Amino acid sequence: MHKRYVFLTSDGLTDDMKKKFFDIIRKNPKEVRVLYIPTAGIETDGARESFAIGLHELLLMGIHYDNILVYNLELLLSKGYERTYSSYIEEIPMVAKLLTAEELKAFDAVFVSGGDSAVLCREMVRTGLNNTIKKAINNGLIYVGISAGSMYAAGNLDEGLHIISNAIIPHWSGDKRIDLPSDSSDIPLTDGQAIYIESNKIILI
């Protein structure tokens, strides 16, 4: 039975969170393999800017560029669609097909970026990755959500992952919360905060 490791962040991993991330993986950063899903942030130029920032932050963590697979769900076929004129291709590159839970074992972590959580959810459901990614998380794939990526994994959306039942409000500008609610009320996260889940343990960091 694998442990679940999930970081639901407001604006990305802080230095302390990065240390925790690498403590879990126990690999040299240059050996870490990341699946990077930018889909929530590609429908406006303002959101697209975050793509460069996301890659920049991964590289600052010491993760090698060649070990980052940029996986835009909007380029994938819908689940159930039968290939026609591309059916002659026997080996579809990873970037152009729905990855299986087995193929996701090649990665140490998935980073799901910010933007529009509804767009992300729509594409997760359309492609069928929603079911696969949940299995992969339960098999030990580390999930790092950033803003919309955190909202998708929390209780914000009917068809989200619902790793926690509470909805998350990222980029909260009010008072900083110091503990988790005992009920299903919303959880505001200021930038620099995150909910960390390890198996069934849930803490605010």
pLDDT single digits (tens) 158-197? 999 999 999 999 999 999 989 999 898 999 999 999 999 9
Task: Count structural domains, the chain.
Answer: 1
Find out whether 73 and 127 touch, Cβ atoms under 8 Å: yes
Predicted pLDDT at 201: 94
Q: State which residues form the domain around 200.
A: 5-82+91-204
Q: Which residues of the chain have pLDDT under 50?
A: none
List all residues 6 or more positions away from 187 whose beta carbon is below 8 Å from its beta carbon.
154, 166, 167, 168, 169, 177, 180, 181, 195, 204
Q: Which residues pair with 144 in a beta bridge?
A: 7, 111
Angle subtended at Cα 12 by Cα 48 and Cα 113, rounded to the nearest 5 degrees: 35
CATH number for position 25:
3.40.50.880
Q: Say what the alpha-carbon torsion angle 61, 67, 70, 71 is, to the nearest 10 degrees.
A: -120
Q: Which residues pair with 6 in a beta bridge?
A: 143, 197
3-class secondary-structure state, position 107: coil
Predicted pLDDT at 108: 98
Predicted pLDDT at 1: 57
List all residues 6 or more positions away from 1 whose beta carbon is below 8 Å from its beta carbon.
none
pTM flag (> 0.85): yes
Predicted pLDDT at 96: 96
